[in-house]
Structure 1
Amino acid sequence: MPRFLLFFSRPRALWLCALLGLAACSGRYEPPAPFELNIAHINDHHSQLEPFAGTELRLDGVPTQVELGGFARQTAAFKALAGTPNLLKLHAGDALTGTLYYTFFQGRADARLMNTICFDAFIPGNHEFDDGDGVLRDFLDALAQGGCGTEVLSSNIEPQAGTPLAPEGGPAYLRPSTVRRIGGVDVGIVGATIVGKTVNSSRPLPSTRFHEEAASAQKAIDALRARGVRHIVVMTHQGYANDKALAARLTDVDVIIGGDSHTLLGDFSAQGLSSSGPYPTVARNRSGEPVCIGQAWEYAKAIGQMRVRFDAEGRVLDCAGQARLLIGEPFARQDAAGQWQPLPPAESAALARRLEAQPAVQVLAPDPGAARVLAEYTSALTAEKAKTIGAAAEPLCLVRVPGESTNRSAGVAGCADAHQRARGSDIAQVVAEAFLHGSRRADIALQNAGGMRVPLAAGTLTMNSAFTLLPFANTLVELDLTGAEVLAALEDGIANHLDRHLSDGSHPYTAGLRWTLDMRQPRGQRLANVQVRDKATGEWRPLDPARTYVLVTHDFIASGKDGYATLGAAHAAGRFVNTYLLYTQTFVDYVRARGGLRRPAPGDYAHQKVTTQAGVVLP
């Protein structure tokens, strides 16, 4: 039956058959068969190409260490789906920035590993612009060399003609949408990249225009519908909460595959992990029709597998699926003395067989071909990564906002409930202390929550630990600010995510400054009991609004990025000194000077008391 008959009611279809004299229309009208679409997806792998060894999960009710993720294992998971009918393979952005593989190879290693999977489509995340449009172009060139035909999509990014992403005389690198013919059915894919966070928290060219996400996505959807495409998947990089809100603003959207918030969806309580919602999450579009939303955590640790069923008219009937943790041997458990010991081969094999019945995990070995590609790059990094700088006496947990739903330090022993404690991020606190130690002038130091990329487990710290933790090319800047401006800057960082609904990576952590935070209150009233630690005596005194303080932070937020408008104004007025100290090296120097790391004293944490938006007072 000709495809256009899908879009007419039965009487109109019969009328068209009579009008056009189509012999195939004789007899009883038969509607087209229902359609089932399978989607495998990842997001936010952030150059994390190696697996996470010794990650603690709960398996069969017992704490168990496993090897988690790794891009070669991700490749194996995608290849295991090769026989799945009507399969779409998607990457929802932030492939870059986060490890030495990016620092040294600027996306080339990521592109080659991605090409061992051959994604149907990829959208740029905000971190693809961390080093500007030119580095993104070079990464996309490397991605294109794999022969996979991966489409690079974003409906709301408009590079200026003649710039790296829109070269004169050549095709633009970004397209608003694409159409894939899957199982005899056209499936439209639309991209949308978060605007505020990319402009304020990365470094795109000033000439590159970023348009509002929903309007741009709807324009691309409408263009696909005008071509007769009925099934629409929107790929986003804007966060789980924004995806749920976006669904309600769009028409004719069936599926949203997202990234950016590093959100784990699904029930992982049996594995000892918390999540932020069901997988898939079902919302409603502007027409009241179901929209299936999926996201697959972070750092190549998991794969999302969604199945969407459509009725004969092309409407979503239902969706199901699972985000699966990708794990492998060696497996280890604690002995009677509490020491981790590898499981004997027979026990390990038996555990792997039992786990086959658990949909939340998938046990598999890394793909050999992808592992060989990675080995080419790993050998070049081995010497630098192996250099020891000290040790962490206890785990330093990663949290963005105290009380957040997803535990970003999941699997790190000693961090199981870190996200639900008032102190928030241990590692952000330590990094701020390192900044303060590295500055000769500063009274206080500020670090944004999103600037640290990983928690640090107890044990040896290497150069790799430092560059994975602090992967950006930022330098330390000292700003002269009044106490009133310091307070306003803190409010900026909090309002950026509570009021503006942009990145929660802006949330502030400080050294030499502490407070009580009540997130129920409006801007300007969230912080109380703000105190400064005297550098000479160590005494805590109230922040003086009229006094001038020297604040040290990194040049990115000092220039007003991540919502820190107050800092940006002081920077623009010339009230700063750039020390040109690389912030990662400052952290390395701090670790070496102290002979290692441990958590600060409780009274030195920035967050002394926290009340969440829900009114929960955190312990």
Structure 2
Amino acid sequence: MSMNYRLTLAHINDTHSHFDASLVRLKVQLGQHQFSLAAHTGGYCRIATQVQRLREQAKQQAREMLFLHGGDCFHGTLFYSHFKGQANARVLEYLQPDAMVIGNHDVDDGNATLANFISKVSFPVMAANMDLSAEAADKEDALAPLPNLLHFDNASGLGQCLIKPFYDRQIAIIGITLDQMRRVARPDPDTEFQPAFATVANTIQHLKQQGIDHIVVLSHLGYDMDQRLAEEVAGISVIVGGHTHTLMGDFNQFGLPCVPYGERINGVPVLQAGKHSEALGIAELSFDEHGKVTELNGSSCLLLDRHFMLSGDTPATEQDYRDATELLHQHPGILWDEQDEQLKAIIDTEFRPALSSMEQQVLAMVPRTLAHTRLPSQRLPHGSEIAPLVSQSMFLAAREQLQKLDFALHNAGGVRQSLEQGQVTLGDIMGRLLPFDLPLVCYQIRGDYLQQVLESAINEATNNSVIGTGAGSFPYTHRLRYFYDGRQPLGERIVKLELLKDNGLWQLVESSELYVGVSTSYTTSGKEGYDALLLADWQQSLEHVTLPGAFIRMLSHDIPLEPAMPMVNYISHRNS
């Protein structure tokens, strides 16, 4: 008689220091009327309650349980900006995931910050393809000596993995992260990343030789790459992912972008649970003795307020609120807002007081919500409404120090969210909108190299004939207008490039002419397709000016926060 290997799997990813619940707006159809339903969802205190409940249920039913984090716990709010990972360590240690994989943003501030975080937690932190063989033994804040860091074993050519008892067998968890880490993050020079797929394949082969067939890949590669991994590498039982903020579950009726939960590729379910602690993924799985998933039930679950606001063309009645409540209760992807009071007390007493003054300092008023999207879309054909304003702030700040300046250029991933209508506080800017405290760098570059920068960054963002690093590389500009046609041959996709001069006229960018721009130290170091910025004649860091500082300075000058003149004119390679 074969055993039924059952597993309760809870998972989160890309939490980005969002300890608190986040505002979400759902569309709900009630009779003949459609309403917008505004509520808060998620947050670590609500997640803690649900995970503890799942653990207790699994114990009562003699079922195995795993709680996994798909990476990118750093950055995103003031809890990281101010405490640099120490608050994350305290809160995640309370949650006690069985394992967490390292994400690219967890390495954005170098190895020392990550090492400090790992040393403060007891659970395994994983990156099976992180090669630390070149790290000096006497290096301060070294990663290799940390006992709970599972990394690449250079001697065996395999990734270290977590092996746990699983009924009469064992289950292995392999944590894998981006092998393009140097292009998207800032690890120390002595840290390399081995090819992700080969590392997983070789490690699985070794596990199989040991008789371990139940294998979970905890991935920070992104949804598309997870699908490819499932297709190309044999022996994986299930992939629990992160990086692309993909919400899985059936939330179409609420107007949320989503894909089916646990979609199987080559028989392997791929799981992910959105972003910012807004949702908790919960899966009930059954495996056969060979490690194949035979049954999966679950969804990403929003952890919603019981009290919410309805707005629409007609005022909501009490009956509308009752109907909306019933609609939410019937949905398998909705849970409620019970929170762990002990964790709430830790956050409120140990960390929140240091941030309160920043959260209360109002900088400006936003007349209407300014949407941030990394890529142009049908709704926003010119892309983000806020990223060009960030570029404008960089330009204004740089021009205070450098009189000759032609344009500003910034990557979409450096802006983290939309700006909601209403008050904007210092905390909103420093903690959420622009959490990366990057210096500004000016440079002089030839026109043909500038054209090369733009095309390369867009190709990377849209996977237009390249293996890209993600949509975060998409370029937004100020006083630089480009026309991109992805249907054209490689090297000829920027079909028109113009500069706005001080006289208000647009002028074509000439290939052999020299132009002066400003970007962040991240893009000028050649990350995410911006390699051609390294061909600049010179680069010069600006004194005492950072990305969030420039935007704060622009707000202090009462410059209206209104959508800028479109600088992005984009035709996808998929258009006919």
- TM above 0.5, yes or no, is yes
User: Is the partner of 1:356 in helix, strand or coil?
Assistant: helix
The alpha-carbon distance between structure 1 residues 352 and 368, as it changes in their structure 2 partners (threshold 3 A), is: farther
Residues 427-454 of structure 1: CA deviation (Å, up to 9, x unaligned)? 1111011111212132110010100111
1:299 paired with 2:299, answer: no
Distance 2:412 2:519 in 1: 12
Give how far 1:262 is off: 0.9
Match of 2:20 in 1: 50
* Deviation per residue, 1:142-172 (Å, 9 max, x gap): 222xxxxx21121100222524675687647
Counterpart position of 1:147: none
Specify which of 156, 174, 178 is matched with residue 150 of structure 2: 174
Kept after mapping to 2: 8 A contact 1:561/1:568: no
The residue number in structure 1 matching 2:260 is: 278
Alignment map for 1:61-76 (pairs within 5 Å) = 61=30, 62-76=35-49
CA shift, 1:368, in A, is 1.2
What residue is the counterpart of 1:195 in the other structure? 179
State the distance in 1 between where 2:345 and 2:144 align.
37
2:514 corresponds to: 548
Match of 2:572 in 1: 612
Aligned match for 2:467, one of 458, 481, 500: 500
Distance 2:115 2:3 in 1: 42
CA distance, structure 1, for counterparts of residue 411 and residue 275 of structure 2: 20
How has the CA–CA distance of structure 1 residues 265 and 517 changed in structure 2, closer, same or farther, with 3 Å as cutoff? farther
- Equivalent residue for 2:117, pick from 131, 139, 145: 139
Distance in structure 1 (CA, Å) of the matches to 2:313 and 2:500: 45
Question: Partner of 2:156 in structure 1?
Answer: none
Residue 533 of structure 1 aligns with an amino acid whose one-letter code is: L
Match status 1:387 vs 2:361: yes
- Partner in structure 2 of residue 25 of structure 1: none
- SS of 1:135's equivalent in the other structure is helix
The 1:386/1:170 distance shift into structure 2, 3 A limit, reads closer
Match of 2:421 in 1: 458
Q: Could you tell me how far apart the structure 2 residues matched to 1:470 and 1:239 are? A: 22
Mapped partners of 1:577, 1:33: distance in 2: 63
The equivalent residue for 1:421 is 380
Contact 2:263/2:270, CA 8 A, preserved across alignment = yes
Partner residue in 1 for 2:546: 582
SS in 1 for 2:445: strand
Decide whether aligned partners of structure 1 residues 490 and 354 sit closer, same or farther in structure 2, where only a CA change above 3 A counts: closer
Gaps of 5+ in 2: 152-159
Q: 8 Å contact 1:161–1:167 — kept in the other structure?
A: no
Instruction: Give the direction of change, closer, same or farther, for the CA distance of 1:315–1:333 in structure 2 (3 Å limit).
Output: closer
**Structure 2 matches for 1:462-501, cutoff 5 A?**
462-467=425-430, 468-497=432-461, 498=463, 499-501=466-468
Q: Contact 1:67 / 1:329 at 8 angstroms: preserved in 2?
A: no
Q: 1:391 to 1:337 in 2, by over 3 A?
A: farther
1:38–1:88: 8 Å Cα contact kept in structure 2? yes
Q: Secondary structure at the match of 1:214?
A: helix
User: After the TM superposition, which of the residue ranges 161-170 and 552-561 deviates more from structure 2?
Assistant: 161-170
Task: Indicate how the Cα distance of structure 1 residues 529 and 336 shifts in structure 2: closer, same or farther if over 3 A, else same.
Answer: closer
Question: What residue number does 1:431 align with?
Answer: 390
Q: CA deviation at 1:558?
A: 0.9
Structure 1 gaps of 5+ residues are 1-29, 145-149, 285-289, 404-418
Distance in 2 (alpha carbons) for counterparts of 1:120 and 1:447: 37
Gap change, CA 1:520 and 1:256, over 3 Å in 2:
farther
Query: Of the candidates 256, 261, 271, which is equivalent to residue 239 of structure 2?
Result: 256
Query: 2: CA distance between counterparts of 1:436 and 1:165?
Result: 37
Q: Distance in 2 between matches of 1:393 and 1:192?
A: 43
Question: Structure 1 residue 323: deviation in Å?
Answer: 1.1
Please tell me whether residue 568 in structure 1 is matched to residue 537 in structure 2: no
* Residue type at the aligned position of 1:489: V
Counterpart CA distance in 2 for 1:169 and 1:88 is 26
| Aligned-partner Cα distance in 2 for 1:172–1:206 | 22
Distance 1:169 1:185, change over 3 A: closer
Deviation at 1:179, TM superposition (A): 1.1
Q: Structure 1 CA distance, aligned partners of 2:414 and 2:146?
A: 36
1:442 aligns with 2:405: yes
Residue type of the alignment partner of 2:470 = S
Q: Give how far 1:552 is off.
A: 0.7
Please say if residues 305 and 323 of structure 1, whose CA atoms lie closer than 8 Å, have aligned partners that are also in contact. Answer: yes
Structure 2 partner of 1:12:
none
Distance in 2 (CA, whole Å) between partners of 1:217 and 1:120 is: 19
Structure 2 letter corresponding to 1:439: A
Residue aligning to 1:246: 229
Please say if residues 71 and 102 of structure 2, whose CA atoms lie closer than 8 Å, have aligned partners that are also in contact: yes
* Structure 2 CA distance for aligned equivalents of residues 351 and 214 of structure 1: 45
1:76, distance to aligned residue in structure 2 (A): 2.0
Partners of 1:64 and 1:332 within 8 A in 2: yes
Distance 1:367 1:192 in 2: 31
Q: Aligned in 2, Cα 1:335/1:394: closer, same or farther, shift over 3 Å? A: closer
**1-structure distance, mates of 2:93, 2:425:** 30
1:358 is aligned, of 326, 331, 337, to 331
Q: Distance in 2 between matches of 1:184 and 1:374?
A: 40
The CA deviation string for residues 174-202 of structure 1, in whole angstroms up to 9 with x for no partner, is: 34211122344411100111021x21222
Q: 1:559/1:315 Cα in 2 relative to 1: closer, same or farther (>3 Å)?
A: closer
Q: Name the SS for the 1:57 alignment partner.
A: strand
Deviation readout 1:208-238 (Å, 9 max, x if unpaired): 1210001111222222222211100001101
Number of the residue aligned with 1:310:
287
Q: By how many angstroms is 1:353 displaced?
A: 5.2
Structure 1 residue 577, shift from structure 2 partner: 4.5
Q: Alpha-carbon deviation of 1:264? A: 1.5
Does the 8 Å CA contact 1:424/1:607 hold for their aligned counterparts? yes
CA–CA separation in structure 2 for the residues paired with 1:531 and 1:443: 11
On the 8 A contact 2:362/2:425 being kept in 1, the answer is yes
Partner deviation per Cα, 1:512-548 (whole Å, 9 max, x = no partner): 11122222334322222222111x2121222222221
Please tell me whether the aligned partners of residues 394 and 599 of structure 1 are also in contact (alpha carbons under 8 angstroms): no
Q: 1:387 to 1:596 in 2, by over 3 A?
A: farther
Aligned residue in 2 for 1:110 = 88
| 1:91-240 alignment runs, 5 A limit | 91-144=69-122, 150-159=123-132, 160-162=135-137, 163=139, 166=142, 171=147, 173-175=149-151, 176-196=160-180, 198-240=181-223
Instruction: Give the secondary-structure state (helix, strand or coil) at the position aligned to 1:242.
Output: helix
Partner SS for 1:431: helix
1:287-314: CA deviation from partner (whole Å, max 9, x where unpaired) = xxx1110111100001112233223443
1:335-363 Cα distance to aligned partner (Å, 9 max, x none): 7777xx9x97x986775455222012222
Task: Specify the code of the residue in structure 1 equivalent to 2:566.
Answer: Y
SS at match of 1:143: coil
Mapped partners of 1:238, 1:363: distance in 2: 30
Paired with 1:457 and 1:50, the residues of 2 have a C-alpha distance of: 17
Compute the TM-score of the two structures, normalised by the length of structure 2: 0.90
Could you tell me how far apart the structure 2 residues matched to 1:429 and 1:70 are?
A: 30
- Shift in Å, 1:259: 0.5
From the CA coordinates, give the structure whose radius of gyration is larger. Answer: 1
